[in-house]
Amino acid sequence: MGAPSRESVTATLNPDPGTLPVVPNDGSEPVFANPWQAQIFSLVVGLHQGGCFSWREWTENLSAEIAADQNADADHSGEEANPSDSYYRLWVRALERILTNKTILSPDDVQRRVAQWRKAYLNTPHGKPVALPSSREQVSTLG
Amino acid sequence: MTSDDHHSHDHTESPVDLALQVKALESLLVEKGLVSEETLDALIETYEHKVGPRNGAQVVAKAWAQPEFKEWLLKDANAAIASLGFTGRQGEHMRVVENSAKVHNLVVCTLCSCYPWPVLGLPPVWYKSAPYRARVVRDPRGVLVEFGTSLDDDVQIEIWDSTAEMRYLVLPERPVGTEDWPEEELANIVTRNSMIGVETVHVTEDGDNSGAKADS
Is B113 a known active-site residue?
yes
Segment B80-92 shows an average pLDDT of 82
* Interface-testing mutation among B48, B49, B110, with chain A (most A C-beta atoms within 10 A): B110
Q: Which of B24, B48, B165 sits opposite A117 (nearest CB)?
A: B24
Q: Which residue has the higher pLDDT, A26 or B160?
A: B160
Question: Is B149 a residue whose pLDDT tops 90?
Answer: yes
Measuring CA to CA, which residue among B5, B24, B26, B19 is closest to residue A122? B5
Which residues in B lie closer than 8 A to residue A32 (C-beta atoms)?
44, 48
Residue A40: closest C-alpha in chain B: B22
The answer to whether residue A39 neighbours chain B at the CB level (below 8 Å) is yes
The answer to whether residue A7 neighbours chain B at the CB level (below 8 Å) is yes
Cβ pair A21:B110 closer than 8 A:
no
Q: Which of B19, B28, B39 sits opposite A36 (nearest CB)?
A: B19
Q: Please tell me the predicted confidence (pLDDT) of residue B125.
A: 83
Q: Which residues pair with B167 in a beta bridge?
A: B94
- Tell me the residue length of chain A: 143
Cβ pair A34:B125 closer than 8 A:
no
Question: Is B78 a residue whose pLDDT tops 90?
Answer: yes
The 8-class DSSP code of residue B160 comes to E
Task: Write the CB contacts of B29 (distance below 8 Å, at least 6 apart in sequence).
Answer: A43, A47, A99, A104, A105, B35
Measuring CA to CA, which residue among A88, A24, A37, A32 is closest to residue B215? A24
Measuring CA to CA, which residue among B78, B157, B159, B169 is closest to residue B115? B169
Identify the band that residue A95 occupies on the pLDDT scale cut at 50, 70 and 90: very high
Which of the following is catalytic: B27, B100, B112, B210? B112
b/e map B105-143, b = 16+ CB within 10 Å: bbbbbbbbbbbbbbbbbbbbbbbbbbbbbbbbbeebeeb
Residue A88: closest C-alpha in chain B: B18
Q: Which amino acid is it at A112?
A: R
Measuring CA to CA, which residue among B124, B90, B164, B122 is closest to residue A38? B122
Q: Please tell me the predicted confidence (pLDDT) of residue B15.
A: 52
Q: DSSP of A74-137, one letter per residue?
A: TTTTT-SSSHHHHHHHHHHHHHHHHHHHTTSS-HHHHHHHHHHHHHHHHHSBTTSPB--TT---
Which of the following is catalytic: B14, B113, B129, B210? B113
Structural domains in chain B, CATH included, are 15-48 (no CATH), 53-214 (3.90.330.10)
Is B109 a known active-site residue?
yes
* Interface-testing mutation among B44, B103, B109, B213, with chain A (most A C-beta atoms within 10 A): B44
For residue range B87-139, what is the model confidence (pLDDT) as tens digits?
A: 866 667 899 999 999 999 999 999 888 999 889 988 888 898 888 988 999 99
Q: Which of A47, A89, A130 sits opposite B12 (nearest CB)?
A: A130
Task: Write the CB contacts of B121 (distance below 8 Å, at least 6 apart in sequence).
Answer: A31, B47, B51, B52, B53, B55, B192
Q: Please tell me the predicted confidence (pLDDT) of residue A59.
A: 93
Segment A57-61 shows an average pLDDT of 94
Is B114 a known active-site residue?
yes
Contact (Cβ atoms closer than 8 angstroms) between residue B52 and residue B187: no
For residue range A12-48, what is the model confidence (pLDDT) as tens digits?
A: 333 333 444 444 334 456 788 888 999 999 999 999 9
Q: Please tell me the predicted confidence (pLDDT) of residue A128.
A: 75
* Dist CA A31 CA B88 (whole Å): 18
For residue range B40-51, what is the model confidence (pLDDT) as tens digits?
A: 999 998 888 888
Q: Please tell me the predicted confidence (pLDDT) of residue A142.
A: 45
* Average per-residue pLDDT for chain A: 73
Q: Please tell me the predicted confidence (pLDDT) of residue B29.
A: 96
Is B83 a known active-site residue?
no
Cα distances from A60 to residues A53, A97, B44, B129, B155, in angstroms, run 11, 11, 23, 17, 34
Q: Please tell me the predicted confidence (pLDDT) of residue B215.
A: 40
